Structure 1
């Protein structure tokens, strides 16, 4: 069953609700632990804002290109946050190790998803080029 990019994107945003994840993170990190996870929580808030703005955009050629650009920027941002948390753990700052590992895994999964999406787009393009007119 092939999914169009628009339906695939809507399925991702329906299954992944950043607002619920942020609420759960805030609930788990009460008191001084919340201060340690502050960079991760800020990253999650930015991701939530980006997801909400992407839902409001119209679908069309420019809408899809905008979403792809936003997705690439989001993957890059997650990688930068992961690197920052990793450096804080190495330096011995107050950042907890489990949050740094979670951020690293999240960045890894996001990058893998982006690569797989690129591969599907290339496969589709190659298939279209093989069609005889």
Structure 2
């Protein structure tokens, strides 16, 4: 089965959920959810549609293969956080894949946090402080 099978149906579901329950300040994804969140933003941008979010947060993500979604970077402030420390690298998603996901975004508005805690959203200092600092820009 193709990893991106059902993508269009997923986008329609997200559109409906956002319309029904939004607006939302941000989109956040972890692991496969980060890959999908980025593709959704790329999809909205390719339609010349509003992304509908002020910023995005992508934790331990990767760039999912989907034809036709290369080209212009996603123009939205974004936080990219992933494990990449010595023996504590993310064992589920290679850090190079998280870097490839980050490359989908306009680099002038990306913030990157590399931590030493593996395949998680870090909740301790100094990483949580860096996440808070990113979020404070949108308060």
Q: Fold-level match, TM-score > 0.5?
A: no
Greater fraction strand: 2
- TM-score class, shorter: under 0.3
Instruction: Please identify the structure whose Cα radius of gyration is greater.
Output: 1
Give the TM-score normalised by the residue count of structure 2. Answer: 0.26
As a proportion of its length, which structure holds more helix? 1
